[in-house]
């Protein structure tokens, strides 16, 4: 016959009341030890209060510690049991808040582990005061065992009789529960903030797709702000939802953004993760024998750089994209210099200074270096600098070479 479902909120209320019952038990014994006590005025009201509160709970609450024949243990042991009951009530409340939330799934194991410790400490505390068992504690333990089995969650401690928790350590357990509660609160708050930022990002990406040239910059500012808020709320730059939203519009990213601008600096980790993703996808899906486009601008650019080298700064090296550029433009080689955060532009100078280098390409979408930094290195070595606003397709690279350095290369 299946057991009745467990009401976690009701159990938390019962355990909290039992903690008060243990404290009243101690206070009542102390009052009765005083021969001058006024029972009707000092003791009876406390008895009625506990009984009324127990009766008010759905299904009542068995207050064993308030019976005339209840055990009379050492006060310290009853005080420890009161702490165990109160801690158990807190653990049940914490589990009740986390058990149905999909955004707290990874926090459920540590929370249930704390509940197991609280249950074990309460069981041992009951034995210490001479009370063999508490049906609410037993019912909750059976529920916990069913949950861990159904959810395939492993609880390493306190699930066996031979592995008891210490009821005297209830204060330390209460501190651990407070830490876990703060962590969950932070997680819930972070999730709310992430959702709000994604909703804002989704809205402005949609507006950007239908925006005219004049308003694109404004929409991108909002996208950068929303992305930064998403990251500050605890999301990873590699988040798949974030990447999925940005991939469709990345080609419209303004070319005049400076890596030194705070919102751009915060956005750089996202760009690097997208670049890594695209590089990995290209490695998996690109057909090595796919034909290279032979547009007029490619032939014109080839005539200017054939037999020479190009340096490309920024982004993860994509071997297939590099091979296509070498083949399409007739290069002797392509020296791809990956751009790393906080890396000095001076590390690129030896590559730029080589005599066979015709020009330097700066992939501004992926580079963490400002245009002026690389421009300084190019000027020092008398090499033209060409900014690549989008991808590495030979047609695009050839077009940028002709527009930005065609005359100089022709000379």
Strand runs labelled E in 303-356: 309-313, 333-337
Q: Residue 94 corresponds to which tokens in the numbers above? A: 């914490």
In sequence order, the 6+-apart residues with CB closer than 8 A to the CB of 306 are: 329, 330, 331
How high is the pLDDT of residue 288? Answer: 46
- Beta-strand runs (E) in 13-109: none
Calculated CA dihedral for residues 182, 186, 189, 194, nearest 10 degrees: -170
Report whether 390 contacts 363 (CB < 8 A): no
**Do 173 and 88 meet the contact criterion of CB atoms below 8 Å apart?**
no
Q: What is the pLDDT of residue 315?
A: 74
- For 296-410, CATH number out of 3.40.50.720, 3.40.50.2300, 3.40.1160.10, 1.25.40.420 equals 3.40.50.2300
Distance CA 327, CA 310 (A): 12
pLDDT tens by residue, 371-396: 677 888 899 999 999 988 767 888 88
Q: Rounded to the nearest 10 degrees, what angle do helices 262-285 and 319-329 cross at?
A: 80
**pLDDT value at residue 115:** 96
Q: How far apart are CA 43 and CA 370, in angstroms?
A: 79
Would you state the pLDDT for residue 98? Answer: 84
Q: What is the DSSP pairing of strand 357-363 with strand 309-313?
A: parallel
The Cα–Cα gap between 293 and 391 comes to 14
**Which parts of the chain register pLDDT below 70?**
1-4, 102-105, 258-259, 282-294, 339-345, 366-371, 390
Q: Is the distance from CB of 8 to CB of 96 less than 8 angstroms?
A: yes
The predicted structure's pLDDT at residue 283: 60
pLDDT score for 411: 73
- DSSP label of 3: P
Smallest CA-to-CA distance from 158 within 117, 199, 190, 101 is with 117
Distance in angstroms (rounded) separating the CA atoms of residues 267 and 223: 10
| Distance from C-alpha of 234 to C-alpha of 186, rounded to nearest angstrom | 10
- Yes or no: say if 123 and 171 are a contact pair by the CB < 8 Å rule: no
Q: Could you tell me the sign of the dihedral formed by the alpha carbons of 147, 153, 155, 161, in that order? A: positive
As a whole number of angstroms, the distance between CA 108 and CA 282 comes to 38
Which tokens hold the place of 138? 């037993």
Cα-Cα-Cα-Cα dihedral sign, residues 367, 387, 389, 283: negative
The domains of the chain are located at 8-165, 188-285, 296-410
Give every strand in the sheet of 309-313, ordered side by side: 333-337, 309-313, 357-363, 385-388
Residue 300 φ then ψ, to 5°: -70, -45
Give the N- to C-terminal CA distance of the chain in Å, as an integer: 93
Quote the tokens at residue 228. Answer: 């930064």
Q: Are the C-beta atoms of residues 66 and 50 closer than 8 Å to each other? A: yes
Q: CA–CA separation, 301 vs 401, rounded Å? A: 7
Cβ-in-10-Å burial (0-12, 13-18, 19+) of 276 comes to middle
Query: How much is the pLDDT for 57?
Result: 93
CA 352 to chain CA centroid, Å, is: 40
Distance CA 335, CA 339 (A): 12
Average pLDDT, the chain: 86
Q: Supply the pTM of this predicted model.
A: 0.61
């Amino acid at each position: 016959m299946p057991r009745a479902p467990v009401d976690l909120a009701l159990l938390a209320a019962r355990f909290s009341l039992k903690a008060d019952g243990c404290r009243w038990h101690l206070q009542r014994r102390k009052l009765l030890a005083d021969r001058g006590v006024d029972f009707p005025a000092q003791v009876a009201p406390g008895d009625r209060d506990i009984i009324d509160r127990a009766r008010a709970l759905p299904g009542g609450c068995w207050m064993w510690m308030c019976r005339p024949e209840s055990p009379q243990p050492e006060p310290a042991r009853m005080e420890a049991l009161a702490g165990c009951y109160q801690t158990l009530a807190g653990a049940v409340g914490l589990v009740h808040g986390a058990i149905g939330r999909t955004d707290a799934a990874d926090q459920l194991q540590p929370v249930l582990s704390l509940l197991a410790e609280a249950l074990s400490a309460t069981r041992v505390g009951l034995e210490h005061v001479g009370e063999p068992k508490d049906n609410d504690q037993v019912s909750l333990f059976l529920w916990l065992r069913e949950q861990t089995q159904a959810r395939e969650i492993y609880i390493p401690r306190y699930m066996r009789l031979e592995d008891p928790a210490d009821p005297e350590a209830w204060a330390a357990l209460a501190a651990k529960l407070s830490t876990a509660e703060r962590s969950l609160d932070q997680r819930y708050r972070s999730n709310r903030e992430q959702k709000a930022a994604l909703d804002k990002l989704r809205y402005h990406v949609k507006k950007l797709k239908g925006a005219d040239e004049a308003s694109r910059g404004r929409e991108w500012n909002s996208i950068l702000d929303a992305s930064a808020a998403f990251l500050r709320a605890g999301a990873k730059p590699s988040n798949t939802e974030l990447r999925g939203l940005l991939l469709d519009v990345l080609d419209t990213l303004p070319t005049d953004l400076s890596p030194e601008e705070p919102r751009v600096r915060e956005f750089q980790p996202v760009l690097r993760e997208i670049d890594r993703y695209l590089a990995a996808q290209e490695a998996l899906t690109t057909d090595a024998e796919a034909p290279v486009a032979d547009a007029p601008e490619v032939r014109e650019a080839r005539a200017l750089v054939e037999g020479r080298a190009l340096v490309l700064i920024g982004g993860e090296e994509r071997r297939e994209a590099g091979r296509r550029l070498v083949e399409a433009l007739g290069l002797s080689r392509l020296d791809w210099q990956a751009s790393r955060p906080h890396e000095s532009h001076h590390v690129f100078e030896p590559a730029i200074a080589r005599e066979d280098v015709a020009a330097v390409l700066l992939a501004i979408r992926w580079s963490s270096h400002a245009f002026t930094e690389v421009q300084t290195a190019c000027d020092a070595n008398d090499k033209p600098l060409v900014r690549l606003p989008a991808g590495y397709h030979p047609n695009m690279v050839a077009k940028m070479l002709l527009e930005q350095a065609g005359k100089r290369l022709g000379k």
